[in-house]
């Protein structure tokens, strides 16, 4: 792995492009899988299902990978600025490729307007991760940021079940509880730790102002979405949930 990572470090931009093409290939392969009948005749829902399927693959891969890196090399959690391993660098490279591919898919398929929240998120992630790959700084911070992908697994499953019209199923009700747990544990706590680290070590960090500003924007977006989840899954009555689901044409539906 060390030899591969040395090549990636020499050509980080080309490496990201390569992984984005690999995820595009995964997208093409997943298109061959049958779609639920409820989405197959709706162009927007059909595209959304395929897009979320690729996102699920990314989340399963990188969420597990990030946690494995943290458990195997716990020292990465203490020095987020300058220390990293070959595995964590490769992880960030692979994930950046996915975000480039996903942003391109949203824009080129004409869904940018309804997915502007995702595009803002992706732009911040891509710029931050590319900075890490080129400078080899904050790589461990990017690894911690990818803890959120553990929550993204249950989050994507939630959205896929909603697209399939399975919101009354047992799986959906179990998943919404697990999703709230992973949201708090792996998304909110990870963001809190990153924010604390940047504030605590701000005086010695390169371009700390940019990363802190980007993190604050993402913190705001995460808190807004946390409210949406609470409102949609635990506060709204069933008829209001159905109305919200039927009328929403945003990529990030409540």
Residue 51 within a domain: yes
- pLDDT value of position 33: 87
Give the residue with greater pLDDT, 238 vs 182.
182
The whole-angstrom separation of Cα 112 and Cα 57 is 22
Residue at 254 is within a domain: no
pLDDT in the model for residue 36: 86
Q: What pLDDT is attached to residue 237?
A: 58
C-alpha closest to that of 245 among 119, 152, 159, 154: 159
Q: Rg for the chain (alpha carbons), in Å?
A: 18
- Total domains, the chain: 1
Provide the pLDDT for residue 253. 47
200 occurs within a structural domain: yes
Residue 78 in domain: yes
Q: Read out DSSP for the chain?
A: -HHHHHHHHHSHHHHHHHHHHHHHHHHHHHTTSPPPHHHHT-HHHHHHHHHHHHHHHHHHHHHHHHHHHHHH-GGGGT-TTT---HHHHHHHHHHHHHHHHHHHHHHHTT-TGGGHHHHHHHHHHHHHHHHHHHH--SHHHHHHHTTHHHHHHHHHHHHHHHHTT-TTSHHHHHHHHHHHHHIIIIIIHHHHHHHHHHHHTGGG-TTHHHHHHHHHHHHHHHHHHHHHHHIIIIIS-HHHHHHHHHH--SSS--
Which tens digit of pLDDT belongs to each residue from 82-96?
Answer: 999 999 999 999 999
Give the distance from CA 130 to its chain's centroid.
16
pLDDT at 37: 85
Does residue 66 lie in a domain region? yes
C-beta atoms surrounding 42 within 10 Å: 13
Contacts of 116 (CB under 8 A, 6+ apart): none
* CA proximity to 49, closest of 168, 149, 169, 166: 166
pTM as predicted = 0.90
pLDDT at 235 over 90: no
| pLDDT at position 95 | 98
- The residue among 80 and 5 whose pLDDT is bigger is 80
| pLDDT surpasses 70 at 141 | yes
Q: Tell me which residue range forms the domain holding 161.
A: 2-247
Contact 172, 158 (CB under 8 A): yes
Instruction: Quote the pLDDT of residue 241.
Output: 54
Asked if residue 6 is part of any domain, the answer here is yes
**Is 183 within a domain?**
yes
Is residue 43 a part of any domain in this protein? yes
State the average pLDDT over residues 209-213.
Answer: 90
Q: What is the pLDDT of residues 113-134, one digit of tens each?
A: 888 888 999 999 999 999 999 9
């Amino acid at each position: 792995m060390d030899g591969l990572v040395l090549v990636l470090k020499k050509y980080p931009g080309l490496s990201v492009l390569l992984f984005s093409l690999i995820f595009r290939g995964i997208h093409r392969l997943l298109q061959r899988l049958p779609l639920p009948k409820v989405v197959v005749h709706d162009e927007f829902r059909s595209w959304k299902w395929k897009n979320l399927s690729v996102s699920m693959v990314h989340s399963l891969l990188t969420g597990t990978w990030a946690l494995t890196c943290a458990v195997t090399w716990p020292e990465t959690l203490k020095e987020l600025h300058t220390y990293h391993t070959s595995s964590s660098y490769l992880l960030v490279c692979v994930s950046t490729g996915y975000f480039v591919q996903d942003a391109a898919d949203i824009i080129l398929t004409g869904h940018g307007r309804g997915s502007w929240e995702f595009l803002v998120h992706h732009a911040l992630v891509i710029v931050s991760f590319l900075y890490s790959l080129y400078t080899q700084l904050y790589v461990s911070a990017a690894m911690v940021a990818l803890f959120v992908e553990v929550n993204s697994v249950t989050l994507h499953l939630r959205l896929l079940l909603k697209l399939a019209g399975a919101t009354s199923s047992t799986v959906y009700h179990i998943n919404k509880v697990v999703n709230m747990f992973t949201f708090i544990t792996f998304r909110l706590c990870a963001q809190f730790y990153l924010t604390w680290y940047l504030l605590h070590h701000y005086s010695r960090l390169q371009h700390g102002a940019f990363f802190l500003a980007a993190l604050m924007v993402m913190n705001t977006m995460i808190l807004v979405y946390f409210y949406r989840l609470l409102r949609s899954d635990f506060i709204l009555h069933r008829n209001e949930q159905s109305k919200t689901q039927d009328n929403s044409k945003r990529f990030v539906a409540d």
